[in-house]
Structure 1
Amino acid sequence: MTKHTDHFYRYLREWFTVFLPHQRAASPHTIIAFRDAWNLLLRYVADTRQIPLEQMTFEVFDRELVAEFLDHMTATRGWSATTRNQRLACIRSFFRYAASAEPTLAMHLAAITAIPQKKDPANTTIRYLTTGAITTLLATPDPLTKTGLRDQFFMILMYDLAARDAEMLTLTVGAIDTRRRTAELIGKGAKPRRLPITAETAEHYRRYTGALHPGSDPGEPLFYTTHRHRKTPMSDDNVARFLRQYATAAHQINAEVPERIHPHMLRHSRAMHLYQAGMPLEMLTEWLGHADPETTLIYAHADTEMKRKALAKITIDIGTDATPIPIWRDRQDIIQRLCGLAS
């Protein structure tokens, strides 16, 4: 075994025996899954590159080889997009560990990191709230207090716009135009988009700014906390905290409200409600600021899955299978006409 090979295997051994079980506290199941993934990768390299195991080095595992390995396993073993992405994450984890231990190996990590994950448009795992749950949640804060007024308006505006958490926290006082009833959001890649707001949301804005932004400069952060008598943009940790607080309280009133929610669930909820109300996917893509229209398909797939589950539930409730009873059952005359036997 050469020095460079020993270099590679030493870090691989440390990753399995020290980092994963002790520093990351990975479960035995996860470690076994990672071990199996690396066994497949090493065997693939030996078979396709004709490189003996004892001669493998960091240089061998370039972007092209790892991408080929993932594609090969997807084709021959039927890996789903989720499985493929998990295996890629496993490989990245090792290279990240090696690069942190020895910075000269960062170039190899960069090559592996450049391999994109595979999108799975069929993935319908999306959590969102019903319209009834949204109504309960938005009514939970006490608008007679400044904090309650702020938190309630934040949730109302976030839901109305289907905005990202980061987009909400960069809003300024002047970003809302109550006359035109629009809001200016700055999305990913500093890409702006203008969205409509409802008349009710515009009225909430007037009430909120009247209480918390009297005479404010249009450039001030719309949602803020005060530090040393200065207004600074509110943090995402603060948003997550008060959402958990109100969700817990709302759940006691309406069981449809999850006990724990995260900010993105308001965005998902509004997007699903817009889609279910008939908004075309092309328009929803623009509304949400998605760079790739494929990303928006998750709402169509999730809605289809919801309908499928509802149909299955109805089927179980009425005590029949999913096949409708044919109208010709026990009707010989209808069967004869269908078959052209009747005179």
Structure 2
Amino acid sequence: MQELCDRNGSSLGKLSFERLSKETVENYLGYLEKERYCSVSTRNHRLACIRSFVKYAGARDIGVQAYVKDLCTIPLKRAAKTTVIKFFSEAALKTILEQPDTRKKKELRNLFFMILMYDTGARNQELLDLKLSDIHFEGKSPYVVITGKGRKTRLVPVMPKTVDHFRKYAAVFHPEHTSDDYLFYTERKGRRFAMSPDNTERFIKKYGVAAHNVNPEVPESLHCHMFRHSRSMHLYRSGMPMVLLAEWLGHAQISSTLIYANADTEMKKEAIQKVTSK
């Protein structure tokens, strides 16, 4: 509900059933799919949560029943039987990371955000929830503690180059280390707040457009989740076992990870060519 309020420029305390109209909810669901690139299952889950809340209120206040009936006319979407995974090549990644002008403070932040997102394969919100206390870059085996769905945590190792970029970033954004500080933040009236998903999607889309003009391998519509998909595909192609990849991504079921094996038409093509060439 908080996300819906943020989307409509109102606070949770001011949310009323008059504002929770069918049109408002439909616009929010469309935003999830078209701008946040959420899956159909995520869209349906959010709708189910909104319905449950309104039904709960309607059981206690007959005046809310009209809103229950209205929202229940919004249909759940049927997910496609085949999942198309969009990802970019390692050459495309290089072009994307060349776009930020790191002489500018925010662009330095944006570069490190994209590097960390790719290296960890983390979801957008998982990165935005990170605090300095989750960063463990001392010693020979640097890692990040990521809290995923269901509040489950996983330890994700990072590359030495990522640690180097973190130090440059921290020197500017965290000169005084405070463990409770968000790793990525915005400042308003002297206070620090976690960056919003809209903010990150905005600058990644901007860099995607610029990078595509330089290198056609970069997808025209770049978005945050594509970094996760791309890193997963690159690791899978490099030989990471599916079970380990599932654990690395924080998937509760390995069936969620099999989409990368099903999506890799290039590997299938190479395998067929090897067989037919003998």
TM-score > 0.5 by shorter chain: yes
Q: Which 4+ runs in 1 deviate beyond 4 A?
A: 98-113, 116-120, 308-312
Query: Which position in structure 1 is the counterpart of 2:249?
Result: 288
Select the residue among 187, 203, 218 that pairs with 2:164: 203
Task: Describe how 1:102-181 pairs up with structure 2 within 5 A.
Answer: 103-104=64-65, 123-179=82-138, 180-181=141-142
Task: Describe how 1:214-293 pairs up with structure 2 within 5 A.
Answer: 214-293=175-254
Higher helix share: 1
Larger Rg: 1
Indicate conservation of the 8 Å contact 1:123/1:301, yes or no.
no
1:138-184 CA distance string (max 9 Å, x none): 12111121111100000000000000011000011221111131101
Amino acid at match of 1:178: F
Which whole-Å CA distance do the structure 1 matches of 2:145 and 2:271 have between them? Answer: 40
Tell me the number of residue pairs that the alignment of Structure 1 and Structure 2 aligns: 228
Indicate conservation of the 8 Å contact 1:136/1:254, yes or no.
yes
Amino acid at match of 1:144: R
Residues 280 and 310 of structure 1, relative CA distance in 2, 3 Å threshold: closer
1:214-256 CA distance string (max 9 Å, x none): 0130110000111111111000000010001111111111111
Which whole-Å CA distance do the structure 1 matches of 2:79 and 2:202 have between them? Answer: 31
1:83-110 CA distance string (max 9 Å, x none): xx9xx99xx9xx99x9799854899999
SS at match of 1:123: coil
1:248-304 CA distance string (max 9 Å, x none): 11111111111221110000000111111000010001000011110000001011x
1:31-88 CA distance string (max 9 Å, x none): xxxxxxxxxxxxxxxxxxxxxxxxxxxxxxxxxxxxxxxxxxxxxxxxxxx9xx9xx9
Residues 102 and 278 of structure 1, relative CA distance in 2, 3 Å threshold: farther
Residues 24 and 216 of structure 1, relative CA distance in 2, 3 Å threshold: closer
Query: Which position in structure 1 is the counterpart of 2:266?
Result: 306
Which whole-Å CA distance do the structure 2 matches of 1:277 and 1:249 have between them? Answer: 28
Give the RMSD, CA atoms, in angstroms. 3.9
Query: Which position in structure 1 is the counterpart of 2:154?
Result: 193
Q: CA deviation at 1:209?
A: 0.3
Residues 24 and 199 of structure 1, relative CA distance in 2, 3 Å threshold: closer
Amino acid at match of 1:235: S
Which whole-Å CA distance do the structure 1 matches of 2:99 and 2:217 have between them? Answer: 14
Which whole-Å CA distance do the structure 2 matches of 1:249 and 1:162 have between them? Answer: 23
Which whole-Å CA distance do the structure 1 matches of 2:268 and 2:91 have between them? Answer: 21
Indicate conservation of the 8 Å contact 1:123/1:298, yes or no.
no
Which whole-Å CA distance do the structure 2 matches of 1:110 and 1:285 have between them? Answer: 36
- Normalising by the residue count of structure 2, what TM-score does the alignment of the two structures yield? 0.70
- Normalising by the residue count of structure 1, what TM-score does the alignment of the two structures yield? 0.57
Amino acid at match of 2:99: T
Indicate conservation of the 8 Å contact 1:142/1:148, yes or no.
yes
Residues 275 and 308 of structure 1, relative CA distance in 2, 3 Å threshold: closer
Q: CA deviation at 1:123?
A: 2.3
Which whole-Å CA distance do the structure 1 matches of 2:229 and 2:148 have between them? Answer: 16
Residues 255 and 242 of structure 1, relative CA distance in 2, 3 Å threshold: same
Q: Which has the higher contact order (CA 8 A, sep 6+)?
A: 2
Q: CA deviation at 1:197?
A: 0.4
SS at match of 1:261: coil
SS at match of 1:291: coil
